Amino acid sequence: MNTTHAIDATEKKSFYKELFSLAIPIGLQNLLVALIGATDALMLGRLTQDAVAAVSLANQIAFIMHLFSGAVVGGGGVLLAQYWGKGDRVMVKNLFCSLMKWALGISFVFFALAMFVPELLMRVYTPEPALIATGASYLRAVSVSYLFSGITQCYYLIMKLEGKASKSVMISVVTLITDVVLDLFLIYGIAGAPKLGANGSAYSTVFVELVALIWCIAESHRGESVHPDWAGFKWFSADVTRDLFKIALPMLGSSLAWGLGFSMHSFIMGHLGSDATAAASITSIAQELITCVCKGISAGAGIMVGKLLGQNLFDRAKVYGKRFCHISFWVGGIHMLILCILGPIVAEFFVLSETAKAYLIIMLIFSAFYVFAYSVNTVIVCGVFPAGGDARYDALSVFFASWCFSLPLALLGTFVFHWPVIVVYILMCADEIVKLPWIYPRYRKYLWLNNLTREGAQ
């Protein structure tokens, strides 16, 4: 009995050691990425309310682009984790090169749209001429960064698999500091630099994305790290490509259903006025900052469970899945508490009208309930389930919760019944809470316990 307890204790220690080695760096990286957006918003918010609102709406284009590239990279990550656990390094390299090609193709489409038709994109989100003009100019300036960011995400994925997640954190730290410094000079025109306003934030984003990509490429050529080569770019397997899209397409469906729904939030708030848009934009940034930990744990869950499934260690994977369920509730509760405490303080850091500030405080308080549900959904549905190929559930749950419930009510409240802004906002963000009761019954079916690797796939 004592030996069994000792084995269990050792196994738990190994579990949490691996989780922390993944979740903490990935969570920190998510935090740093969110901080880049937060510092941009804070500096623009000290400039004018219209500037922060316009850039927030314009950044919905990059957000949608990342939904497409994130689904492909995320689907590839599931396969990469399982082949990595299996020890098939050639297949890992080939898949890595394939993901880079898809990511670059997606990025180019959005670069072209933002560069050549930015006014058309902005009119989707707002009818206000001032916001359209500022946002379109920002989009044209920031569009080049899209070509770099998708490929960088592929490199970050490989770093996590190789146990080098701390390297991606270091890159994010440097890019954050560089972005803040450049923003200070280019937004406000400090020390003789041109005062570019919102466009200054765009140019700093282009520069730091380029720095991150160059650093990732250099890092991949050190030691025994996986890096692309000509043979990898020429490689193609119809079977493995089908495996990839069997996972990536449901993830894309889920990402689009959730992301376009989230983008619809900006559309709805944009039609409720500048006060509502600014308050909702700042609330969204606060949510991004708070939920970085659960995103890190979700990514860690996908990698850890995926490696076990690639080795056919199904019983151990089941134990890991149960632990991640418990962890998700604890993390959700912590996120909820933090937002309740810090939420009202956030309002003091922005130059807002009294109406916008009142909206912001109430939105932040409601967001405490939102982030609890979001944390649980993210760890289990976006981490554990896809690790073994069960990616369809997320798409279905998002479709019904968002597109059949919260968004129709919010749209009716905005354009038909003209309900108060706060009522529309609460309805709009109720989707994560609606999804919560259905997760555990799905988990207990164990549809996520699958080995997705193939023999001789090279």
* Residue ranges of domains in the chain: 16-443
Q: What is the dihedral of CA 386, 286, 152, 69, to 10 degrees?
A: 50
Count the neighbouring beta carbons within 10 Å of the beta carbon of residue 192: 6
pLDDT of residue 427: 93
pLDDT of residue 173: 85
**Cut 0.75: pTM above it:** no
- What is the rounded distance in angstroms from the CA atom of residue 372 to the CA atom of residue 356? 25
- What is the rounded distance in angstroms from the CA atom of residue 407 to the CA atom of residue 266? 12
Work out the burial of residue 80: count CB atoms within 10 Å of its CB; fewer than 13 is exposed, 13-18 middle, 19 or more buried.
buried
Contacts of 170 (CB under 8 A, 6+ apart): none
pLDDT by residue (tens digit) across 307-365? 899 888 999 999 999 999 999 999 999 888 888 777 667 767 777 788 888 898 889 88
pLDDT of residue 335: 85
Two structure tokens written together for 111: 């670069």
pLDDT of residue 456: 52
Which residues of the chain are under the pLDDT cut of 70? Answer: 1-8, 37-38, 41-42, 45-47, 343-344, 347, 455-458
Amino acid letter for position 265? H
Collapsing DSSP to helix, strand or coil, 48 comes out as coil
pLDDT of residue 455: 64
Q: Give the Cα-Cα-Cα angle 396, 413, 426 (nearest 5 degrees).
A: 65
C-alpha distance from residue 230 to each of 227, 234, 239, 390, 452 (Å): 10, 6, 21, 33, 26
Count the neighbouring beta carbons within 10 Å of the beta carbon of residue 365: 14
pLDDT of residue 406: 92
Name the E strands within 88-238.
Answer: none
- What is the rounded distance in angstroms from the CA atom of residue 434 to the CA atom of residue 451? 31
pLDDT of residue 146: 93
Two structure tokens written together for 27: 């969570």
